[in-house]
Structure 1
């Protein structure tokens, strides 16, 4: 596996402190290489669909985060009301 020099230095630094971290980084980089090879083989129309899907996923993540924040805010308000009662 070819690892860019700056990433290799980072991995070496982390290796000294945490061998599991290096292993995780290597696996992550290998997975990224796989996805880049797949993306390179796509047609422009396929790439546009992948980008659209990616954008939809990001939107869903944002909406999910907002929903979770609203849930915790509501739960805090309910807890506050219960302690005041």
Structure 2
């Protein structure tokens, strides 16, 4: 791995979030990015996708808010705000 451990962790978390199934494939990993970028269609700035993306990130990270926030590229306090704003609850 050419980068640091934080960059590797970010790539793996990004791949886990975007994997189609339970297994990360080569297609899910982009080694050319030092910082994973969210596709613009999945941006939390778009209210159409905000609630869905937060809920999906929380579920993928077993409701670990810190890791879900990292996947989404937002702060822990921002995810807390959005959980309250959307009235999200763990099933």
Both proteins in one fold, TM over 0.5: no
The TM-score normalised by the length of structure 1 is 0.26
The TM-score normalised by the length of structure 2 is 0.25
Structure 1 or 2: more helix by fraction: 1
